[in-house]
Structure 1
């Protein structure tokens, strides 16, 4: 794989920008530097960037781009062989590092570096650390607040002799990449714990939590921040972002630019089309991707938005790009997240007078919503807001005319400091509020009659160093009902103008309601509404129970089944109403990425007491396993076996498997040899891969079919050198 030279494949600035003035034809114009042709010049004839040694010291050995990749604020070595021996009292050496499309020292994108006796940690400079004949070793230090990106390096030499000063400039052919440095205390992205750096910067695979609050599941994801395409895409995104060169030194502006770059809209040609339509025949479905590199590869190749992605895909790709650039990042899932576009506080659900859900009027509560977090200090804010910053690349609402959200300090979200950071108000609204049920009469008049469960629960991310879930809810919100939580919501309500409606209370509420049940492992669903009469008088309950196909965003599709009944409740007795749904009766009536949601309402005739609730259910996934066969050798093909067991009570049809992993030639879109996998059947598929890099790697396999999706598995493999 060849090193990268500066060229059009990575440029993305507008064509109206002037060309880079720091090139061969205009060096004299920019710097006043003139090349003299005399033979006694001190000319570099060979420059060794010590790539292997430097990359190892800078934790960049795994990057597949072969160029020198270093982290800012940290020293690196260069060996320079000159055309003759260095004469200390007659020769001088200086360096220049150049970045950006319009480099200038005034913009910070041309950095002149002079020799010093002692290097200062986190500041630009170099010293001669070795000299043997015509071979010189330079130790170069970069600024801990330097612009990150792709640099050109120039070595300037001067000789003072009888004929005056003679100067020479050498331009190194290969670009040098400078990244953020979580290992350096002077860098804004510094992360103190090595285990956390290993997880949030170096780990190439991870886990995404999906499903529903009551039954969530996990699927593996290949971030692939060291893949060749990931660094190319990350630098390309910065080039296209139109943020000033100096702003690339700031993780706040870089993170915001990455977030904006994820969304493909009519205005912004971003990386991913976001779609929840359930119709993906013209491209790749959101759930079919196994990792980020395949998405980035298609984007860089076509320069068009890739179809399709959803919130967790967008968050995962954002995490990849941030880790590629050296910013610690992770994916975070919030269950029962609110899409409350008017920040009104209550989440409204509406019912007709005949107790049918009016879902077209409802606020959306997402079964789950995934965003990314990035770690850095906030020098742009008052003290106390450093650490994890939430950034949500999913296009839900415009901010400043573009689809972007964050970075918002997680601490500000917790405290309800809605004026701090970017879109903190929106992130706060996703996590706070409660459902309010309204009954709507034929003339459109509404009556609020019952409150529901709070939103924003079980906020989850992958635990450091383990395949396990870590609950980070306490970092985002205080415990429900606590004095701190009430105080925060009251303050936010004043700032946002939130107002909760007064609920209509009936004279008597003597019936206790409880909804139980859910899906079995085979996909059959059984839901029971238990009603207990607590008084010595009989009651009659009018009950509606409906099962609807609902996207995980809370948008309803079709009604799958309904039950209406009049239930007699004897004095001091209990009675039930049940809704049963066989897997075969509904699985082909919904999209594979939608859930089943129960809408339940009951009204007591004698007292007018009403009960209403909305509950989403997530099916258990079929079992997927991946195992290696034999020995894996770098550069050679090897086989893995993917085993699928159908645990549902219906056949699985149109099944597709994809396998990916660090340094692998991926296998995408492999159709199962069997067109239909029967209930209880176990099948095996052999997939051939090739490894580009040695070491212990984690393979990721994903499966989807007509009936269900987001089925994943992972396994470690040790790739050895031949």
Structure 2
């Protein structure tokens, strides 16, 4: 900073256009000076009076940069890229969702600075808050808290139910800009509604605007451990129906962000510098506030959970054991933390970063975990299958096997702690699921015993929300089958319809400041007329606000930025919601 009294300076020329172009912030503004850390810029000062060569002018420069990424390709991806992909679905069927971050939209300057100015820490001590904004650790925690509105004037209200009255369904959002603008233009009133991927997408926008490298990460089969026990307990009745909800849950997936920064506060010889987990979804309090992180990914991998911030909670999200109870049916240390995914650098491919967070189950790794973990076995089931002899005493298959541990030559074999079933049960899909086609599952029974076995087979399929909360039953059947010695039996097929949609297309080449036409194609899968239809289209450099159309599927616009740009369309009608498509447009000069 320049150490002058304000009265000494008459005017300042910030050379906004030249400086912003050199600092790659020209797309944000040509009228406001926006410069990046660690790079020189030009100012011209006009003084109130002349100075002589004998006068001493003091210039203090702080050169250390806690968020510097040495790889230019990574800087382009994690700071400069206005678009990205958020992965959702399930561990076996990962689906990409194009998300428009839009951190270079011009009003992002006022919006993001407003977010910092209305955070509770600023109200308590403005001077201390402003002086701490050079610290990305501090800023990351502030932004993580301000994206949700649970205990401040934050941006988003979370809702995980079915009633979105008074707001927008979380599945409808396709970008961050409209959310942030709505919050800013309505005097910092929270926007309704968001879920984990929306919270993460909005936080990534703010972090990239502030110059902190950031990426969105999806953890499939993500544990929510409320008591730091590192186990998720589930309770089932005799029919295989989840009997009651618990505070611990397994989410189909959970989305957070990683920010790149140094961690000199940990004093671990820089070993925990780099990617840090930050989670704006309001799950548990951290130091009395609904925020999470930054948690070093390297510390999660090593199990070093006694460090700042929130390491036990994040460690459990990728490493907790699942314990299912009727009596204790079995324990599963494999399911949680699968296919941890983020967008790859420089392309729209998925990058699996699971090995950054956890060692492969069963691998010989020396992990010093500073929490108590219960020993467990490895196994997984999607549908609960109960059967026993015809005497009417239903028994969990896992209980049946565990109670016969002394006769494993008949029932199965052990590999370490894992029980491998060899004679009775296999459950798998017939083929890969394709959008628009039925899902088929098949149960195989094989009797390797020397006597006939009369089996009572009860199958229950129960819907589950993506955050692990059980919903209604889909299927509940009971059948009896007799298995002769050496006989195999295939049984049970379950179908479920799913939807599909097509991508948008661009009619002709695109040039900046010239009108182009976008065509959105949609195929009606129903044998009835669709009513109350609306189409929402967004894209950085194409639309300065969300484009909503209710009558035509050809859209004209004038691109105002060059380069590869994504356009995302969302179609809604009375019969179904949130059918999405996207395309990439190369806008030429």
Following superposition, the deviation at residue 405 of structure 1 comes to 0.6
**In the superposition, relative to structure 1, how do residues 567 and 361 fare at CA in structure 2: closer, same or farther (>3 Å)?**
farther
TM-score by length of 2: 0.83
1:622 has 2:501 as partner: yes
**In the superposition, relative to structure 1, how do residues 435 and 668 fare at CA in structure 2: closer, same or farther (>3 Å)?**
same
Q: What secondary structure, in the 3-state scheme, does the structure 2 residue paired with 1:665 have? A: coil
Between the aligned partners of 1:468 and 1:650, the Cα distance in structure 2 is 37
Task: Give matches, 1:319-334, under 5 Å.
Answer: 319-334=204-219
Aligned partner of 1:225 in structure 2 is 103
Between the aligned partners of 2:234 and 2:443, the Cα distance in structure 1 is 19
Task: Give matches, 1:139-538, under 5 Å.
Answer: 142-144=61-63, 186-241=64-119, 242-243=121-122, 244-265=129-150, 267-302=151-186, 303-361=188-246, 363-382=248-267, 383=269, 384-439=271-326, 446-449=327-330, 451=332, 453-484=334-365, 487-488=366-367, 491-492=368-369, 495-500=370-375, 505-507=402-404, 508=407, 509=411, 511-517=423-429, 519-538=433-452
**In the superposition, relative to structure 1, how do residues 53 and 522 fare at CA in structure 2: closer, same or farther (>3 Å)?**
same
Residues 319 and 333 in structure 2, CA contact (< 8 A), matched pair in contact too: no
**In the superposition, relative to structure 1, how do residues 50 and 308 fare at CA in structure 2: closer, same or farther (>3 Å)?**
same
Q: Which moved more, 1:522-531 or 1:701-710?
A: 701-710
Residues 352 and 358 in structure 1, CA contact (< 8 A), matched pair in contact too: yes
Aligned partner of 1:72 in structure 2 is 37
Between the aligned partners of 2:534 and 2:244, the Cα distance in structure 1 is 33
Aligned partner of 2:461 in structure 1 is 547
Q: What secondary structure, in the 3-state scheme, does the structure 2 residue paired with 1:254 have? A: helix
Equivalent residue pairs, number: 537
Between the aligned partners of 2:452 and 2:18, the Cα distance in structure 1 is 84
Residues 219 and 710 in structure 1, CA contact (< 8 A), matched pair in contact too: no
**In the superposition, relative to structure 1, how do residues 653 and 368 fare at CA in structure 2: closer, same or farther (>3 Å)?**
farther
1:580 has 2:494 as partner: yes
1:49 has 2:18 as partner: no
Between the aligned partners of 1:538 and 1:250, the Cα distance in structure 2 is 71
Q: What secondary structure, in the 3-state scheme, does the structure 1 residue paired with 2:245 have? A: helix
Between the aligned partners of 1:650 and 1:541, the Cα distance in structure 2 is 45
Following superposition, the deviation at residue 668 of structure 1 comes to 3.6
Q: What secondary structure, in the 3-state scheme, does the structure 1 residue paired with 2:138 have? A: helix
Following superposition, the deviation at residue 556 of structure 1 comes to 1.9
Q: Deviations over 1:653-695 (max 9, x none)?
A: 755432222233256474664xxxxxxxxxx811233434344
Aligned partner of 2:391 in structure 1 is none
For structure 2, the residue ranges without an aligned partner over 5 or more in a row are 123-128, 378-397, 413-422
Following superposition, the deviation at residue 534 of structure 1 comes to 2.2
Residues 204 and 662 in structure 1, CA contact (< 8 A), matched pair in contact too: yes
Residues 515 and 557 in structure 2, CA contact (< 8 A), matched pair in contact too: yes
Between the aligned partners of 1:316 and 1:33, the Cα distance in structure 2 is 40
2:582 equivalent among 713, 717, 721: 713
Between the aligned partners of 2:353 and 2:6, the Cα distance in structure 1 is 57
**In the superposition, relative to structure 1, how do residues 523 and 306 fare at CA in structure 2: closer, same or farther (>3 Å)?**
farther
Aligned partner of 1:23 in structure 2 is none
Aligned partner of 1:558 in structure 2 is 472
**In the superposition, relative to structure 1, how do residues 350 and 70 fare at CA in structure 2: closer, same or farther (>3 Å)?**
same
Between the aligned partners of 1:216 and 1:655, the Cα distance in structure 2 is 28
Between the aligned partners of 1:355 and 1:271, the Cα distance in structure 2 is 40
Residues 27 and 106 in structure 2, CA contact (< 8 A), matched pair in contact too: no
Residues 329 and 372 in structure 1, CA contact (< 8 A), matched pair in contact too: yes
**In the superposition, relative to structure 1, how do residues 693 and 623 fare at CA in structure 2: closer, same or farther (>3 Å)?**
closer
Aligned partner of 2:395 in structure 1 is none
Between the aligned partners of 2:529 and 2:473, the Cα distance in structure 1 is 22
Between the aligned partners of 2:241 and 2:47, the Cα distance in structure 1 is 84
Task: Give matches, 1:81-92, under 5 Å.
Answer: 88-89=52-53
Aligned partner of 1:702 in structure 2 is 570
Following superposition, the deviation at residue 638 of structure 1 comes to 3.6
Between the aligned partners of 1:264 and 1:453, the Cα distance in structure 2 is 34
When Rg is computed on C-alpha atoms for both structures, the one with the higher figure is 1
Q: Deviations over 1:65-95 (max 9, x none)?
A: 62111123322112356799x66458x585x
Between the aligned partners of 1:646 and 1:223, the Cα distance in structure 2 is 30
Aligned partner of 1:5 in structure 2 is none
Q: What secondary structure, in the 3-state scheme, does the structure 1 residue paired with 2:362 have? A: coil
**In the superposition, relative to structure 1, how do residues 577 and 536 fare at CA in structure 2: closer, same or farther (>3 Å)?**
same
Between the aligned partners of 2:440 and 2:6, the Cα distance in structure 1 is 81
Following superposition, the deviation at residue 553 of structure 1 comes to 0.6
Between the aligned partners of 1:198 and 1:61, the Cα distance in structure 2 is 15
Aligned partner of 1:685 in structure 2 is 553
Q: What secondary structure, in the 3-state scheme, does the structure 1 residue paired with 2:161 have? A: coil
Residues 530 and 577 in structure 1, CA contact (< 8 A), matched pair in contact too: yes
Following superposition, the deviation at residue 532 of structure 1 comes to 1.8
**In the superposition, relative to structure 1, how do residues 354 and 89 fare at CA in structure 2: closer, same or farther (>3 Å)?**
closer
Q: What secondary structure, in the 3-state scheme, does the structure 1 residue paired with 2:345 have? A: coil
CA RMSD of aligned residues (A): 2.9
Q: Which has the higher strand share?
A: 1
**In the superposition, relative to structure 1, how do residues 362 and 464 fare at CA in structure 2: closer, same or farther (>3 Å)?**
same
Runs of 4+ aligned residues of structure 1 deviating over 6 Å after TM superposition are: 30-35, 647-653
Q: Which moved more, 1:327-336 or 1:230-239?
A: 230-239
Q: What secondary structure, in the 3-state scheme, does the structure 2 residue paired with 1:702 have? A: strand
Residues 220 and 714 in structure 1, CA contact (< 8 A), matched pair in contact too: no
Aligned partner of 1:133 in structure 2 is none
Between the aligned partners of 1:535 and 1:283, the Cα distance in structure 2 is 60
Between the aligned partners of 2:89 and 2:520, the Cα distance in structure 1 is 23
